Amino acid sequence: MTHEQARAEAVRRWGATGTVEFHPPRVDGRSRGRLARYTCVVGNGAAHFRSIEGQGETWRAAFADARSR
């Protein structure tokens, strides 16, 4: 699933407030840390105002993880 497809799926699920975020791996190869967010994050609003959020290493995993906070 591409970023554009993920955005379209978020809008389909949650309307105009559907959002997707991509946090690429670090270029230098270092780990982002044990508590770092997953690569793909989806939800129904801006970062701190979501009532539904999902995270995963792929877009599909993030949508599968999406649940109410």
Segments of the chain assigned E as strands: 19-22, 40-43, 52-56, 67-68
* pLDDT tens column, 8-36: 999 999 999 999 999 887 777 677 766 67
**Structure-token pair, residue 14:** 């949650």
Q: By the 8 A CB rule, do 5 and 59 touch?
A: yes
Report the alpha-carbon distance of residue 4 to residue 36 in Å, rounded.
Answer: 24
**Structure-token pair, residue 35:** 């508590």
Cut 0.85: pTM above it: no
Can you give the length of the chain in residues?
Answer: 69
Report the alpha-carbon distance of residue 45 to residue 18 in Å, rounded.
Answer: 6
